[in-house]
Amino acid sequence: MTRKAAPPKADARDRLRRVLFLVPYAVRHPGVPVRDLARRCGVPEKQILEDLDFLLGVGCPPFAPDDFLDLYVEGDRVHVALHQSFSRPPRFTESEAAALAAAARALGGEGRERVVRALREAVPRDRRAIFEELLACIFAGSPPAKDSLLGRIEQAIAARRALRIRYFTATRGEESERVVHPYTLAQRLGHWYLWGHDEGRGKALPFRLDRIRECAVDEKRFEPPTDAELARGRLFSEASGPPVRLRLGPLAAAWALARPGQWRVVKRDRKGGAVVEVPGVSDEWATRFALSFGGNAEVLGPPSARRHFGEAVRRALARYPG
Amino acid sequence: MQKAERLLDLAALLLRASEPVSWREIQEQFPDDYGGSGEAAIRKFERDKAELLELGVPVRWVGGDEDLSAGYLVDKEDFYLPDLKLAPEDLALLYLAGSAALAQRAFPYARDLAHAMNKLSFAARAPGASEVAAVAALQLSADDAEGDARAESSARLEALSTAVAAKKRVHIVYAGAERQARTERDVEPYGLYQRGGAWFVAGFCRLRQDIRSFHLGRIVSLEVNAAAPRTPDFEVKKGFSLAELATRESWEFGVHAPVRCRVRLEGPASPEERDSFGPRASWKETDGRAVVEVMAQNQEALLRHVLSYGDRAEILAPRPLREKARKVLAALARRVS
């Protein structure tokens, strides 16, 4: 029996967590639209309206009129008079801080331990030991090798400054100079990427961090990306060209299909093998990927990818005279 | 009174009080909830108190003395999120780390992380943090609604995160890669790690009586021991290091006794190539060629790694592994010709 992804329950804890954020947020942003609150909390507007209803009933014993939250909704805008008790959100819970600290450690950078210390301080005193214990239970990946490069990229993202980079394109085996408006960083299939707008190419592209050979922060500032652009960064690497088709033996299929990736399984055989299609990858990637299964996978097509694979195999074999 | 309401009222009462609030006073304020005498009311209050603690509301009991009466209080200093007092570049790091982690969607405590990003917008004047949280929250609820494979794996990661934190035993059905057979086992989950974009749970496997790692994508089903959720089922074995396990190379997982292996790479090795052989590899570079030496406990895994470099790399030793490489490549060459 597989544990189903439970739909978000109208659980008391969820509600409380939400309102402990909502109230101070609304205090700080008078007249914030319901829609905006809903978006920030990741719940439907209806849920926020119910939360607000709930808040109207919340007071503080002995429940005299003054003890209730001074909250009203006008049109679709929410107003909360400065509330003594909930003017700021509570400290980080141990799991909130641990998740953020684990993410910071994986990203690396020179400031990571300072950040972890600051997070620890922001957890209630009694919970700090649990925070440390929990943090030791999450290892979100090894940081990229070049810390200084990452530091510069982080600064540029925060300051919204353009980056001049020398970038190595593996598929063409050459380096090129580019000016990039850095939007965000993302990790995909074990690699760190900078996602940003390439001035020369006039569109947003992913850049693998370990292929950025040189990088300098430019004086030039840029407009922050829209939500839509950022959201696209989450799903980057738009597919272009025909998908690569691979045959995976039973062993390779068991490994590969368990990994995250944009597979389309075309066919499965009875022994567990599969034919899959992967969109938007280079011939070189396909060859490396197939060979990484030690003979249990091959590239089927398109013809250029199949050729690339065949040539790589023959050249590699030539290294082992029989 | 509804539970959410009771908890918030209780938090408000304790936050506002300038002195500890006695149990009797609390009972008077919440007559329907904690009224009456005896164990049941106290137990109910203790459960509520525990929930508040988990939500970040530090309710404490203080024993009285001459100046102060005994009772419960929430230390305001210890409740409100302080300013993190970080330099802008450190804040940027935090913000980026959080958003990059949320962008992966599958991350331990993803929901908590989204909450943390929302809070970060208060703690540190980090504009944008709350934007990221908003996008992530939307994504998380969309995943819930879709009920697709991705939601499935996020839900599994979430369930395991909870089990790790509470030290609860899990029962899994696992589809092994090397052996096709499915096995059922009880695992004491010690921690979660990410490698090559995939998440693994590491822990003590009762079936194998040893520390094992399990690829989340190959866990067919998962059940967390639901009995006594606040009581830990196990202690983490002494000397266990998640980071050590997480950074182990695939050929360092013991299948056979350690064997010294040598690999030659054409041209000077790039930083990422060096990285890919791990921190315990030793390197020698001569005449534009690099020779790397590693101790392998799983030669098959090393072979796969070397083959992925195509004709850039070649196994030099041991001889049987070299022979194996030749055979694998010859078989592939026959297929593609």
- Among A137, A231, A293, select the one facing B164 at the smallest CB separation: A137
* CATH T-level topology, domain A12-80: Arc Repressor Mutant, subunit A (1.10.10)
Give yes or no for a cis peptide into A182 (omega within 30° of 0).
no
- Among A99, A107, A154, select the one facing B116 at the smallest CB separation: A99
- Distances A141 to A188, B64, B314 between C-alpha atoms, Å: 11, 48, 28
pLDDT at position B130, please? 53
Q: How confident is the model at residue B316 (pLDDT cuts 50, 70, 90)?
A: very high
End-to-end alpha-carbon separation of chain B, Å? Answer: 76
pLDDT at position B1, please? 63
Given the DSSP bridges, would you call strands A138-139 and B182-195 parallel, antiparallel or unpaired? parallel
Which are the contacts of A292, defined by CB distance < 8 A and separation ≥ 6?
B304, B305, B307, B308
Angle formed at CA B52 by CA B100 and CA A78, multiple of 5 degrees: 70
A313–B333 CB contact, under 8 Å: yes
AA letter at A124 = P
DSSP state of A90: B
Q: Which residue has the higher pLDDT, B142 or A162?
A: A162
- Return the closest-CA partner of residue A16 out of B20, B146, B48, B227: B48
AA letter at B219 = I
Q: CB-based contact (8 Å) between B196 and chain A?
A: yes
CA–CA dist A309, B87 (Å, integer):
49
- Distances A19 to A78, A237, B43 between C-alpha atoms, Å: 13, 37, 25
Q: Which of A3, A128, A193 best probes binding to B when mutated, by most B CB atoms within 10 angstroms?
A: A3
DSSP state of A66: G
Range from A52-61, A75-84, B77-86 that averages highest in pLDDT: B77-86
B90–A84 CB contact, under 8 Å: no
- Kindly state the percentage of chain A with pLDDT values over 70: 81
Q: CB-based contact (8 Å) between B118 and chain A?
A: yes
Q: Which tens digits make up the pLDDT trace of A189-239?
A: 666 788 889 999 888 888 888 788 888 888 888 887 776 676 666 555 444
The sheet carrying A244-248 orders its strands as: A264-268, A274-278, A244-248, A297-301
Q: Which of A138, A147, A155 best probes binding to B when mutated, by most B CB atoms within 10 angstroms?
A: A138
pTM: 0.75
Kindly state the helix (H) or strand (E) to which residue A78 belongs, with its residue range. Answer: strand A77-80
Q: How confident is the model at residue A8 (pLDDT cuts 50, 70, 90)?
A: very low
A158–B89 CB contact, under 8 Å: yes
Q: Which residue in the block uniquely carries the two structure tokens 């300098």?
A: A216
B252-336 has the same fold as B3-79: no
Which are the contacts of A239, defined by CB distance < 8 A and separation ≥ 6?
A262, A279, A280
Distance from CA of A168 to the nearest CA of B (A): 12
Q: Which tens digits make up the pLDDT trace of B142-185?
A: 555 555 566 677 788 889 999 999 999 999 999 876 556 788 99
Q: Which residue has the higher pLDDT, A5 or A157?
A: A157
Q: How confident is the model at residue B202 (pLDDT cuts 50, 70, 90)?
A: very high
Asked: is B252-336 a CATH 3.30.70 domain? The reply is yes
Q: Which tens digits make up the pLDDT trace of A107-149?
A: 777 778 899 999 999 999 989 999 999 999 998 877 665 555 7
Give yes or no for a cis peptide into B88 (omega within 30° of 0).
no
* Contacts B247 to A, Cβ<8 Å: 142
Which are the contacts of B151, defined by CB distance < 8 A and separation ≥ 6?
A5, B143, B144
CATH number of A147-234: 2.30.30.520
Q: What are phi and psi of A2, to 5 degrees?
A: -95, 140
User: Which residue is closest to B134 within chain A, CA to CA?
Assistant: A40
pLDDT at position B262, please? 96
Q: How confident is the model at residue A179 (pLDDT cuts 50, 70, 90)?
A: very high
CATH number of B3-79: 1.10.10.10
Q: Which tens digits make up the pLDDT trace of B203-252?
A: 999 988 989 889 888 888 999 999 988 899 999 998 899 988 888 888 99
Which are the contacts of A82, defined by CB distance < 8 A and separation ≥ 6?
A27
pLDDT at A76 over 70: yes
* Contacts A308 to B, Cβ<8 Å: none
CA–CA dist B42, B50 (Å, integer):
12
- Return the closest-CA partner of residue A206 out of A184, A228, A173: A184
pLDDT at position A172, please? 65
User: Which residue is closest to A53 within chain B, CA to CA?
Assistant: B5
CA–CA dist B278, B294 (Å, integer):
9
The residue ranges of every structural domain in chain B are 3-79, 88-146, 167-237, 252-336
CA–CA dist B296, B252 (Å, integer):
5
Concatenate the DSSP letters of all residues of A286-315 into one string.
HHHHHHTTTTSEEEEESHHHHHHHHHHHHH
| Chain B (204-223) residues lying within 8 Å, Cβ to Cβ, of chain A | 215, 217-218, 220-223
Q: Which residue in the block uniquely carries the two structure tokens 């939007």?
A: A183
Which are the contacts of A9, defined by CB distance < 8 A and separation ≥ 6?
none
DSSP state of B217: G
Range from A4-8, A281-285, B11-15 that averages highest in pLDDT: B11-15
